[in-house]
């Protein structure tokens, strides 16, 4: 199977992007990281891309005002230019429009810091603690036109401790994101994901899937 081109969209520190770079360096992920697109000028992820030798393109969403689709059209132009097969949202802090989803149907992967469908949205860790939940975690899922509602690829449970704050819980969830995001990208790249409606079946023959509980 030919090596796929992956385009990563990120907005901040870039630790999830770094997890892909590191997995590739370890020989655990055989993909071409074709481009990093960042919507925040000066974000640390841009330097990470430079260190890793991944082309980085900054497209400041603020330049487009409230015209989300105009911003997305420029992003899509770059992704097409780089012949991207899979788009990965790695800490990309923007909601996308149906236009963007239709450009890459079932080929956009996102990370969310909860066990979806519980606690969607931008305050997942704080919402889980406020609710009194005993378990949270991370979800790697395909992006559809809903908010955090696409078919689930992988999930990893993380217990919520009595003294947790949103920051401490987020840090422990992030550790698991760094394990499961590269794995999800590998599963896609190797053609191991089979989508049946809302269910994503995984062909795990010859590969170890870490415990998700």
Active site residues: 112
Task: Tell me which residue of 91, 105, 94, 96 sits closest to 151, measured CA to CA.
Answer: 105
Residue 66: CB partners within 8 Å, gap ≥ 6? Answer: none
Q: Cα 178 from chain centroid?
A: 10
75: exposed, middle or buried (Cβ count in 10 Å: 0-12, 13-18, 19+): buried
Task: Tell me which residue of 103, 12, 122, 11 sits closest to 61, measured CA to CA.
Answer: 11
Rounded distance, CA 13 to CA 17, Å?
9
């Amino acid at each position: 199977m030919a090596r796929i081109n992956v385009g990563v969209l990120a907005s901040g520190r870039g630790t999830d992007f770094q997890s892909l770079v590191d997995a590739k360096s370890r020989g655990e992920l055989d993909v071409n990281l074709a481009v990093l697109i960042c919507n925040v000028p000066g974000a640390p992820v841009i330097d990470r891309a430079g260190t890793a030798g991944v082309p980085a393109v900054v497209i400041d969403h603020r330049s487009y005002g409230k015209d989300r689709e105009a911003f997305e059209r420029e992003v899509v132009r770059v992704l097409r230019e780089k012949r991207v097969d899979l788009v990965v949202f790695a800490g990309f802090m923007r909601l996308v429009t149906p236009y963007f989803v239709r450009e890459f149907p079932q080929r956009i992967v996102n990370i969310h810091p909860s066990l979806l469908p519980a606690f969607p949205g931008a305050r997942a860790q704080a919402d889980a603690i406020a609710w009194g939940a005993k378990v949270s975690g991370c979800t790697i899922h395909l992006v559809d036109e809903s908010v955090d509602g696409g078919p689930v690829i992988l999930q990893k449970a993380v217990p919520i401790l009595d003294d947790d704050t949103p920051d401490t819980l987020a840090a422990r969830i992030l550790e698991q994101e760094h394990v499961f995001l590269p794995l999800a990208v590998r599963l896609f790249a190797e053609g191991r994901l089979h989508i049946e409606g809302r269910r994503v079946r995984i062909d795990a023959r010859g590969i170890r899937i870490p415990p998700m509980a």
